[in-house]
Structure 1
């Protein structure tokens, strides 16, 4: 099954990969190991999972402005997500993705948290404000 959802471009670019989805905000400052890409925030639903090369789907970011640089550092280390999708992005995540050149969409026509599932193959075309989700055998 393959379908498209439109959203708002936050950071331009195109990327694709398997989805990693959570309904909890993500904090890069103390919540993500920027050398490994592993979520380290104890109690977070993604604790112990890697964001490296994934399309990271989460409601919004949280934490201080230092998180922007940590997003960039994770990307520079090759362990950042290839793209992000948020319900509604906030400034820390937006700035981090701008400097790291990570494509981002938010405010999708459908709630991305309930629509996209872990391991769906997601093509993010932030230039045109659309994602294509492939679920099932073709993913």
Structure 2
């Protein structure tokens, strides 16, 4: 299967298993920035780790601190390998922009509709720098 996402934040090719969340998440209070563990007690994917995987977000629950949490994940080496978003979240993506400005390796972020994300759940993916997403 091959799909193409719209590049929101460019990055190098990335690969990993796709964790397609089944509910929106708040990074602030929902993800531990030191470990990448989903810690929101009410989230269906609680206790899953987002480090080094392709994280598919059907939506986000806003907090102006989400960018700081994603920045901390990048700095700690616990960020996702790539991020797929149903809709761009400028505040969350700001964390990647700042990480790039700091000279840290950042995951690419692409826009991909939630229905297409769900079809990728659990599959090993290659996310190319041109926005092509291929199942391996």
TM range (shorter): 0.7 to 0.9
TM-score for the superposition, normalised by structure 2:
0.86
Contact 1:87 1:112 in 2 (8 A): no
TM-score for the superposition, normalised by structure 1:
0.85
Structure having the higher helix fraction is: 2
| Match for residue 10 of structure 1 among 8, 16, 22 | 8
Could you tell me which runs of 5 or more consecutive residues in structure 1 were left unpaired when the two chains were aligned: 135-139
Structure having the higher strand fraction is: 1
Could you tell me which runs of 5 or more consecutive residues in structure 2 were left unpaired when the two chains were aligned: 100-105
- Corresponding pairs, count: 129
Structure 1 vs Structure 2 CA RMSD: 1.6
Listed as ranges, the matches of 1:116-127 within 5 Å are 116-118=120-122, 120-125=123-128, 127=129
Structure 1 ranges of 4+ moved more than 3 A: none
Report the CA distance between 1:94 and its aligned residue: 1.7
Cα pair distance change 1:63/1:41, threshold 3 Å: same
